[in-house]
Structure 1
Amino acid sequence: MLINPSSKYRGVAPVDLPDRQWPNRRLTRAPIWLSTDLRDGNQALFEPMNRARKLRLFDELLRIGFKQIEVGFPSASRTDFEIVRHLIDADLIPDDVTPMVISQLREDLITQTVRSVAGARRAIVHLYNAIAPAWRQLVFGLSVSQIVAIVEHHVGLLKRLTAAHPQTQWVLQYSPETFCMAELEVSLAVCNAAIETWDASPQRPIIINLPTTVEVSTANVFADQVEWMDRHLARREHVVLSVHPHNDRGTGVACAEQALLAGAQRVEGCLFGNGERSGNLDVVTLALNLYTQGIAPGLDFSDIAAVARVAEDCTALPIHPRHPYVGDLVFTAFSGSHQDAIAKGFAAQRTDAPWQVPYLPIDPHDLGRTYDSIVRVNSQSGKGGIAFLLQRDHGIVMPRRMQVEFSAIVQSLADASETELDSAQLWAVFERTYLTPTRAQSGFIYHAHRLYDDANGQGIALQLDDGSGALQHRKGIGNGPIAATVAALGVPIRIDSYEERSLGAGAEAEALAIVEAAWPGVPGTRFGVGRHPNIVTASVLAVLSAVARFADARSHPQAPITDADH
């Protein structure tokens, strides 16, 4: 039995704002986006990203279209410092992208932070300190006037240090940490101190960032707090007002949306909401929420599955199958009534009409996903039973997205024959689909291969039959046998994931290799499977299987094409 909460929790007092304007406003454009995946998101990982993963995720953030990226905490991490310097010294930051680095209010940390980005074309230095009563009284033992003096001193230091590097355009971002738990008058005092000390102007840009460091109130209270600050900040015309919502109450996206109505111009968050405790703002969800309201987000999520795979690989955090917009199951209806409504919606939907399909708030095609499995699979006749039979009778353990893909294929055959498929028939479909697809259609029938070492990576020499009996000899180099095989084939296939299984036990066991692949211009992904006693051979066969499936799909455009996620 829970205790009486009124004796333990105080809640947050409402803001005295009787003439609040935000409830009557409507969003009409996207905010300025800042990705904090490489800093706030990274520090919340079980194992922080290494240099290679950070640089890979940085490249993905650039591809998506972020123009401001928080690249690290260089005064707290030698790795972060070196990565920031590498990005600048190697000129890897595009002219229209601004890196941001963060520092607490300490002289040595600020000095090191400025050193990390000196020489960049433009840089944001993010300074922050905690100002709420619990921190002032219990952690630091400081008065409000002392907190204000600390802000003035360290912003003044930053101003002097950056003046020594005029080749860089410097932007100050100041965050009153724990803003959502602090008195508004105190937040205003420290923010105005930063604004005045920095001497904010068109030539001296400043960002005031209001974080829900720990989310403690309903989203409407946060919106009131933001609107109050929007009205009272000094030199408001020279200030970019930003928010950094966390998700402790599960309302980070709602806080961001309502804060934008209240006057915020910029938001900070991570792609899929990674961050301390319950996470930061989920940028993908907010951006696509705007998209469904007719607002161009300015970020490219037209291949959402590829973005998800990069994020999962770099962070080692799985994305929930029911995650908005990107989860493996969000466009799959298990309920028969849902399937019926969706099918009727598709039948009525015109290409030149506004989107109006029941149960689908967004067109899956806009995210690079297809319609095929949406109304084909449910828990009774779809992937659950199929996956069980394949595992029980044949030892095949399919990844979840492959279960969705294959169940749609089986369901299509079951509908056409109007009969049930037994285990033997199911295995025949699996073999025909993945293990012996029409490889002659692709011109790549496996004959043999040889691995060799190369100075640039792993080399592979392939012998392939083009279907006529004549052997082709192809070579490729990559960071492993799979990448080398793709290079040798010379086709634009992209391998998104790889898994291997053992079929049986002992010396007679065979290896099963499974790849998930994408092809430019083809929505979604396809799976390829290879089976062989040698795992490298099985992996090569899996790549050839995926290539053949894409080739077969293109040669039969009238046939339904299923894919892994969608």
Structure 2
Amino acid sequence: MLAQPATKYRAFQGIQLTDRQWPSRTLTSAPLWMSSDLRDGNQSLFEPMNGERKMRMFRTLCQVGFKQIEVAFPSASQTEFDFVRSLIEGGNIPADVTIEVLTQSREHLIRRTMESLKGARSAIVHVYNATAPVFREVVFGMQKAEIVEMALQSVRLIKQLAAEQPETAFTLEYSPEVFSSTEPEFALEICNAVTAEWGATPANKVILNLPATVEGSTPNVYADQIEWMHRNLARRDSVILSLHPHNDRGTAVAAAELGLMAGADRVEGCLFGNGERTGNVDIVTLALNLYTQGVAPGLDFSDINAVARTVEYCNQLPIHPRHPYVGDLVFTAFSGSHQDAIKKGLAAQKPDTIWDVPYMPIDPADLGRSYDSVIRVNSQSGKGGIAYLMEVDYGVVMPRRLQVEFSGEVQSYTDAHGGEMTAQDIWKLFDATYLHAANAGVRYVDHHLFEAAAVGSMHVQGIELHLESHGKPLHLKGAGNGPIDAAVHALRSAGIEVQVRSFEERSTKASHQGADAQACAFLELAAQGAVNAKQGERFGVGLDSNIVTASIRALVSGVNRLGLAAAVARVEVEDAAA
């Protein structure tokens, strides 16, 4: 029974550190960040990323500002090996970014790993072996001395192979796996042996990574372990002390923060905490926690929605709507009293003053988020009720962010007209807002697809897009990697610059209203460039029996929602003048 003490588990006691210093410290600077999204995060997915998704994730990590990125476990598969080669041979690694690869302490795996790095400008080779008692005794059946020798043999081999590749600046990283469950004295012994074997100096530092491979204690115990190592390591000035907390107890962020206070220099993790079991430490949360305390995190999350959509696409996993800072609902108040306090706080907030808005620890604008959901969404039941009626009565299952956006339209309507809205009223408003807006500057007429000239081995889709702009015919052409991308390029030729943030397609469900099932497309668009007529992002929705037609209708709908039709009018005026 869970109500009784569990005598089958061993309580972890930690170490006796009576003069600990970390509790009196505060964080005043950001650590070195290392993203493991492409390695630790990737190996935990139902379906690991393919080459295209990995490259998109890598580029996003570079744009965010990571200077160290663990890109693969090259010896694990040909796919992993080939990705490392594509990064190096394709010239895809920025000059200020160092790639990292992981290998176990086994000769053939190390040789394969080093082979993958040929020609790299710089690289971190991360080697590990387990050091905790249960691994020594149960998994390997080895004594402490044998575990130490396993690590040293690996270091010698890496050093030898690195010397054979002088064109690459190699850094050694060593992890005593399951450090948090290893006797501190033994962890210290093996780490000191590794740095001595490598010949660590202040100019040639070794990264010692101390992972909470399985989080087994409270964060203060991990902090004590880190501080003890920080204070007792030989050649400390020649060591970059790194943290790799997992989240088995749900306290990885706290463990990382306390570990940094305890003397660590570097943190390994994944953007939104993806990883084995309950995940790696969440770097977005760590970085933005620093930001809200006035510490520059060194990572750029000023367009957090774009980062989130990329990670969801690459991982094929959703981000929880209540995820700190980035969830779709974190800036949405469903409570009337919360909403009232937030509105008053926003009204009182003055520019260039300390942020002090009730219930909002960070300004959404700093993350590229709008205030719309905070101000316009009334209550959970209202939002949920709208979504329920749309699905049950009209078969339209709206994405969560569209639910938030459309509930604002419903709120504005009820504020202006009063009374209760029926399901039919809600559908009429939905139709007028997204499908057949009376004031739409651009209207869809039809389109024709054609095969465009291929670029290398890549298929190119062409489109002739027939629209009506302010009552006049508008014929556009474009090409892209699919119908939507081609239509986006066609619109660009008319001065309409948009970026597709997300795309979903669903079939409408049969309903008792008698409507036939149709394809329903939802496109989330952001305006960009010189025609950014309105700030933020808007959804476009398209309904049609054909999914491609529905998608293009959704694109046109989104253009109208963003207020970008004026761009076409300007182009037409300029053409007439010419």
Please indicate the TM-score interval, normalised by the length of the shorter structure.
over 0.9
1:92 aligns with 2:92: yes
1:202 aligns with 2:206: no
CA distance in 2, matches of 1:435, 1:507: 15
Post-superposition shift, 1:416? 2.5
CA distance in 2, matches of 1:427, 1:472: 30
Structure 1 pair 554–26 and aligned structure 2 pair: CA distance change class (3 A) = farther
CA distance in 1, matches of 2:499, 2:542: 17
Describe the SS at the equivalent of 1:320.
coil
Structure 1 counterpart of 2:544: 532
Post-superposition shift, 1:554? 8.5
Structure 1 pair 345–99 and aligned structure 2 pair: CA distance change class (3 A) = same
| Equivalent AA in structure 1 for residue 278 of structure 2 | S
* Count, aligned residues: 552
1:462 aligns with 2:470: no
Structure 1 pair 537–141 and aligned structure 2 pair: CA distance change class (3 A) = same
1:271 aligns with 2:271: yes
Structure 1 counterpart of 2:79: 79
Post-superposition shift, 1:427? 2.0
Structure 1 pair 254–460 and aligned structure 2 pair: CA distance change class (3 A) = same
CA distance in 2, matches of 1:380, 1:171: 52
Give structure 1 stretches of 5+ with no counterpart. Answer: 556-566
Post-superposition shift, 1:550? 0.7
Are the aligned partners of 2:179 and 2:212 in contact in 1 as well (CA < 8 Å)?
yes
Post-superposition shift, 1:475? 1.1
Structure 1 pair 290–492 and aligned structure 2 pair: CA distance change class (3 A) = same
Are the aligned partners of 1:439 and 1:544 in contact in 2 as well (CA < 8 Å)?
no
Question: Which of 470, 493, 501 is matched with 2:506 structurally?
Answer: 501
Worse-superposed segment, 95-104 or 502-511: 502-511
TM norm structure 1: 0.94
Structure 1 pair 553–407 and aligned structure 2 pair: CA distance change class (3 A) = farther
Structure 1 pair 320–166 and aligned structure 2 pair: CA distance change class (3 A) = same
**CA offset digits 1:154-182 (Å, max 9, x no partner):** 10111111011111111000000000000
CA distance in 1, matches of 2:217, 2:385: 44
Structure 2 counterpart of 1:393: 393
**CA offset digits 1:287-321 (Å, max 9, x no partner):** 11111111111111111111111111111111111
Structure 1 pair 151–508 and aligned structure 2 pair: CA distance change class (3 A) = closer
Post-superposition shift, 1:540? 0.9
Describe the SS at the equivalent of 2:521.
strand
1:512 aligns with 2:517: no
Describe the SS at the equivalent of 2:419.
coil
1:543 aligns with 2:555: yes
TM norm structure 2: 0.92
CA distance in 2, matches of 1:9, 1:553: 65
Structure 1 counterpart of 2:56: 56
Structure 1 counterpart of 2:280: 280
Post-superposition shift, 1:447? 2.0
**CA offset digits 1:17-75 (Å, max 9, x no partner):** 11111110110111110000000001101111111111111111111111100000001
CA distance in 1, matches of 2:451, 2:416: 50
Describe the SS at the equivalent of 1:188.
helix
| Equivalent AA in structure 2 for residue 525 of structure 1 | E
Worse-superposed segment, 319-328 or 428-437: 428-437
Mapping 1:232-251, distance limit 5 Å: 232-251=232-251
Structure 1 counterpart of 2:482: 480
CA distance in 1, matches of 2:347, 2:338: 14
CA distance in 1, matches of 2:186, 2:178: 11
Give structure 2 stretches of 5+ with no counterpart. Answer: 455-459, 568-578
CA distance in 1, matches of 2:184, 2:335: 49
Structure 1 counterpart of 2:29: 29
CA distance in 2, matches of 1:2, 1:530: 51
Worse-superposed segment, 331-340 or 511-520: 511-520
Describe the SS at the equivalent of 1:48.
coil
Structure 1 pair 297–523 and aligned structure 2 pair: CA distance change class (3 A) = farther
Post-superposition shift, 1:380? 5.4
Q: Percent identity?
A: 59
**CA offset digits 1:490-511 (Å, max 9, x no partner):** 0321112222233465995433
Describe the SS at the equivalent of 1:260.
helix
Structure 1 counterpart of 2:128: 128
| Equivalent AA in structure 1 for residue 13 of structure 2 | A
Structure 2 counterpart of 1:562: none
CA distance in 1, matches of 2:396, 2:275: 36
User: What is the root-mean-square deviation in Å for CA atoms of aligned residues?
Assistant: 1.8
